[in-house]
Amino acid sequence: MSMSDEAVAALVADIAGTDEVLAEPDLNLFDAGLFDSLAMVELLVDLGTRLGIDISPTEVDRDDIDTVNKIIAFARERQES
């Protein structure tokens, strides 16, 4: 199973509840108040389901997935491994 970069970005926008994040892919989602603990869990569950992998909550630091671009990079990395 795999996801395109656009699909990952769309998933983030869906969880954040706004398409604004697509225009600003380097915006810090936590600082902007768009992401919280629930959003983080939603991201890991949805990404995991779509990619067919298990991602545990402490597998990735918040700092490593706090922007759309970082989340895309993370998804790419996990699809390759």
Nearer to other proteins, 28 or 69 (CB): 28
Name the site residues for other proteins (rule: CB under 8 A): 36-38, 40-42, 44-45, 49, 56-59
Instruction: Give min distance, CB of 29 to other proteins, in A.
Output: 15
Instruction: Give min distance, CB of 59 to other proteins, in A.
Output: 6
Residues 53-75 as b/e (b if ≥16 CB within 10 A, e otherwise) read eebeeeebeeeebbbbbbbbebb
Answer for the pair 2, 18: CB distance below 8 angstroms, yes or no: no
Instruction: Give min distance, CB of 36 to other proteins, in A.
Output: 8
